[in-house]
């Protein structure tokens, strides 16, 4: 877990955006888990981003609106295919999101999560424009949070527990080093990994870039907020 001191005149409120995202994601997962396998697949297709449907220009506009095809870029952020995917995303969200939300403010953080995740899913859909399998999960949005964290806390350090022989050693590593290594892995998997398989790696890269840009743009507003 990361602890970062942020100087501010205002008393920080509860991180309601992160709490709400975690709660909705967990509730959605248990809702899907309570259904049968066929119904679960249908719900994932109903609320996930299906690239072939999103770019189906032959469908009438009214039908596209009724089926909420564009809005699925955002609803897909709250549904996950399995508990491992959910746990990994929420763990990263808690580690990087709490500090980012405190500095950005809850409303701006929520906008970062939704916009970053929506754009990430759109980029993922473009790379798989003919796919009928839905893109689901908050990986793109969480990647946006990681990108924002790096832009907001470039000198922070993350605690790691490493196995050294028979003992476990707690060490602090620059966040920029770990996140940079993570970005390199995403690029590597994009080109040599299962790009068109279970993981849409481009959503991670796109979300990360959007998060960095949105955090940098928000710096003047953050400075005004902290002076209040």
Q: How far apart are CA 32 and CA 12, in angstroms?
A: 35
Q: Residue 90: its pLDDT value, please?
A: 94
Q: How far apart are CA 85 and CA 199, in angstroms?
A: 10
Q: How far apart are CA 129 and CA 202, in angstroms?
A: 13
Judge contact between 85 and 137, C-beta under 8 A. yes
Q: Residue 5: its pLDDT value, please?
A: 40
Work out whether strand 167-174 and strand 157-164 pair parallel, antiparallel, or are unpaired: antiparallel
Q: What is the pLDDT of residues 11-63, one digit of tens each?
A: 667 899 999 999 999 999 999 999 998 999 999 989 999 998 888 877 777 77
Q: How far apart are CA 168 and CA 165, in angstroms?
A: 8
Q: Residue 195: its pLDDT value, please?
A: 43
Q: How far apart are CA 207 and CA 194, in angstroms?
A: 19
Confidence of residue 169 (pLDDT cuts 50, 70, 90): low
Q: How far apart are CA 176 and CA 185, in angstroms?
A: 14
Contacts of 77 (CB under 8 A, 6+ apart): 113, 114, 117, 118, 121, 137, 138, 140, 141
Report DSSP state, residue 11: P
Confidence of residue 166 (pLDDT cuts 50, 70, 90): low
Say yes or no to pLDDT of 140 above 90: yes
Lowest mean pLDDT, pick from 14-28, 77-91, 169-183: 169-183
The DSSP code sequence of 105-148 is -HHHHHHHHHHHHHHHHHHHHHHTTT--SPB-SSHHHHHHHHHH
Give the dihedral sign, CA 209/211/214/215: negative
Q: How far apart are CA 59 and CA 62, in angstroms?
A: 8
Q: Which residue has the higher pLDDT, 47 or 5?
A: 47
Say yes or no to pLDDT of 7 above 50: no
Say yes or no to pLDDT of 2 above 50: no
Question: Mean pLDDT of all residues in the chain?
Answer: 84
Classify domain 16-227 at the CATH topology level.
Rhomboid-like fold (1.20.1540)
HSE on the CB side for 58, CA within 13 Å? 2
């Amino acid at each position: 877990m990361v602890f970062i001191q942020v100087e501010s005149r205002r008393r920080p409120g509860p991180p309601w955006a992160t709490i709400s995202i975690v709660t909705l994601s967990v509730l959605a997962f248990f809702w899907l888990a309570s259904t049968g396998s066929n119904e679960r697949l249908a719900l994932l297709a109903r609320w996930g981003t299906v690239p072939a449907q999103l770019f189906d220009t032959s469908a009438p506009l009214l039908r596209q609106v009724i089926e909420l095809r564009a809005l699925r870029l955002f609803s897909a952020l709250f549904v996950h295919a399995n508990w491992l995917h959910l746990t990994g995303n929420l763990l990263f969200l808690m580690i990087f999101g709490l500090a980012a939300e405190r500095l950005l403010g809850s409303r701006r953080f929520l906008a970062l999560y939704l916009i970053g995740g929506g754009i990430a899913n759109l980029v993922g859909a473009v790379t798989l424009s003919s796919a009928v399998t839905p893109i689901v999960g908050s990986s793109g949005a969480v990647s946006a949070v990681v990108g924002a964290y790096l832009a907001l806390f470039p000198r922070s350090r993350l605690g790691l527990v490493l196995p050294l022989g028979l003992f476990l050693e707690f060490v602090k590593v620059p966040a920029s080093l770990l996140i940079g290594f993570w970005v390199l892995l995403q690029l590597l998997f994009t080109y040599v990994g299962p790009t068109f398989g279970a993981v849409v790696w481009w959503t991670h890269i796109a979300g990360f870039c959007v998060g960095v840009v949105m955090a940098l743009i928000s710096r003047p507003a953050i400075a005004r907020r902290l002076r209040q």
